[in-house]
A = this chain, B = another copy of it.
Amino acid sequence: MSDSKLQVVPLGGLGEFGMNCLALRYGDDIIVIDAGMMFPDAELLGVDIVVPDFTYLEDNKEHVRALILTHGHEDHIGGVPFLLSLLQIPVYATAFTLALVERRLEEHDLDHEPDLREIKANDRLEIGPFLIEFIHVTHSVVSCVALAIATPLGVVLHTGDFKVDPTPLDNQPFDLHRFADYGKQGVLLLLSDSTNVDRPGYTESERAVRPRFEECFHRAEGRLVISCFSSSIPRLQQIFDLAAEYGRKVALLGRSMLTATELAHSLHLLEIPDSILLRPQDIMQTPANKVCVIISGTQGEPMSALSRVAVDNHKHLSIREKDVVVLSARMIPGNEKAIYRLINHLARRGADVVYGGMNPPVHVSGHGSVEELKLILSLVRPKYFVPIHGEYRQLFRHAALAQSLSYTGIRECFVLESGETLEIDRFGARKGERVTVGRVCIDSGSVDEVVEDIVIRDRRHLSEDGFVLPIIAINKHTGKSETLPEIVSRGFVSLEDSAELMQEARQVVARTLENSSPEERTDWGVMQEKIRADLKRFLSKQTSRRPLIMPVILEV
């Protein structure tokens, strides 16, 4: 038998929210599961998206056999263009997931044709030493799979994102039987979604939003405007069905909403009732109580369709009194203020805004709660367990939950964060060497526009107290400064207040120049540092602020 070991190498999404990416290595073969992105923290100023640092995969380029995607959410596929710009590998996913990936790839210039290969639930696929079976799971998007990966050492089961929805809208339930089969045969390692480990009980079925939606369709005297994630195809289906029932036409606003419905429709995953669609330009010409608008922008993203509607700056929709606006999504942490601002604007325009927690719910999660996590642990009863998809607090709690289920016979749980690896061989499992991981910040969606840490650090400094630049013109013949130094500043103090202060600051710089020895003056690096230090002390004393100070010396 082989003496090779199995390595689990999380490159993103463990100990952080988003940009899920995990490599499995056995001997000389590596497969990659998911390649997601995350939306940046507010502290990453000016950064648009963040993807994992793929150095580990680049360094092992010749061993990487394939990328396998569990489903089509951005935190699982948003990094695909960046990964494919580094590695030419085949990408396996269900038809809907691949279609979303293709759209993303169209926005980027890859120098090679992507090799996209469709798989279906129940398919089996052999890649080197790995025999992968795709298992249907339920989640908030359609066509999601878990992966059962047979290796020479045993089976690794990766759940992807899931909830156990007993009544999914497409009547394709979570394939609990395959999970049970694998549990019976014995599973070496379970990797399971930790997103909702903080939530007690069961997550409600997608169908649970229907009563609230019905109530909104019933109640809205004006237009009914519903915002949800564009990839939530089952939710869109429910809205289309109710619109047909209540005699409202449906208009779609927002590019992502159009794309997702087109893709899902063309793949027969979304049924659009006959002649129900309304062109956006006809919204305001149609009787308000005959209109339902599905619109993107649940997170208050500033350029989204809903944000523009909220400030009455959308060419096709203007909110009036008696309109009902429904936010059918959770608030992603960090977005609360933007979302509340959006709601305030809509309320000011007279809309009745339906949002937040209520019973029956206006939104249900796509991730399983504690009882579903226990169900999976109980069915699979693996030898080893690694919680995935979550911040540290969530992984930690998921591991504790698994440990508390003593009847499952789980031998050991490992809380890994991105970059920490797990090694399994015939002697057991243990943490292995760390690999390089990190966050690569992208300014505007193009592969080239990686923002360096130093630039972000400067931006943060600038954002707090602005900058002050003393500019000293030096006569290159005499080596002397013949005029008083100039000082320019922005974001520091307002101009009215600063005239006197800046005048004094010029004197401070001039004094620093005068009081320097001839030796010092020949080294402009030293002079810059002296000027910076003196000016910093002066400004900090006068204003208690610490602007970025950057002396500029011009030879003229």
Residues of A with Cβ closer than 8 Å to B?
15, 41-42, 45-46, 198, 200, 333-334, 336-337, 340, 343-344, 346-348, 353, 356, 358, 391-393, 396-397, 443-444, 446, 449, 451-452, 454-456, 458-467, 469, 471, 473, 475, 482-483, 486, 488, 490-495, 497, 543-545, 548, 550, 552, 554-556
Contact A544 B490 (CB under 8 A): no
Contact B469 A458 (CB under 8 A): no
Given contacts A337-B334, A467-B467, A491-B462, whether A344 and B391 have CB atoms under 8 Å apart is yes
Q: Chain A at the B interface: mostly helix, strand, loop or mixed? A: mixed
Cα distance A467–B468 when bound, in Å? 11
> A227 → chain B, closest Cβ, in Å?
15
Cα distance A463–B467 when bound, in Å? 11
In the assembled complex, 22 residue pairs joining A and B whose CB atoms fall closer than 8 Å, in A order, are: A45-B463, A46-B463, A198-B356, A344-B392, A346-B393, A347-B396, A348-B396, A444-B545, A452-B494, A455-B492, A455-B494, A459-B463, A460-B463, A461-B491, A462-B467, A467-B490, A469-B469, A473-B473, A482-B556, A483-B556, A486-B552, A488-B552
Tally of this chain's copies? 2
Closest residue of chain B to A390, judged by CB?
B344
The listed residue (B452, B460, B552) touching A471 by CB distance below 8 A is B552
Cα distance A544–B447 when bound, in Å? 13
Closest residue of chain B to A446, judged by CB?
B544
Contacts of A200 in B (CB 8 A): 358
> A525 → chain B, closest Cβ, in Å?
15
Contact A544 B464 (CB under 8 A): no
Contact A344 B393 (CB under 8 A): yes
Given contacts A459-B464, A473-B556, A491-B462, whether A544 and B444 have CB atoms under 8 Å apart is yes
The listed residue (B337, B393, B493) touching A343 by CB distance below 8 A is B393
Contact B483 A555 (CB under 8 A): yes
From A358, A490, A545, name the one whose CB has the most chain B CB atoms within 10 angstroms. A490
Cα distance A51–B340 when bound, in Å? 21
Contact B462 A466 (CB under 8 A): yes
> A220 → chain B, closest Cβ, in Å?
15
Contacts of A337 in B (CB 8 A): 41-42, 333-334
Contacts of A462 in B (CB 8 A): 459, 462-463, 466-467, 490-491
Cα distance A337–B356 when bound, in Å? 19
The listed residue (B333, B344, B455) touching A340 by CB distance below 8 A is B333
Cα distance A446–B542 when bound, in Å? 13
Cα distance A281–B443 when bound, in Å? 47
Cα distance A200–B482 when bound, in Å? 73
Cα distance A400–B494 when bound, in Å? 43
Contact B463 A15 (CB under 8 A): no
Cα distance A334–B465 when bound, in Å? 21
Known: A343-B391, A459-B491, A482-B556. 5 other contacts (CB 8 A): A347-B392, A458-B466, A458-B491, A469-B552, A483-B556
Contacts of A45 in B (CB 8 A): 463-464
Contacts of A452 in B (CB 8 A): 494, 497
> A497 → chain B, closest Cβ, in Å?
8
Contact B554 A471 (CB under 8 A): yes
Contact B488 A469 (CB under 8 A): yes
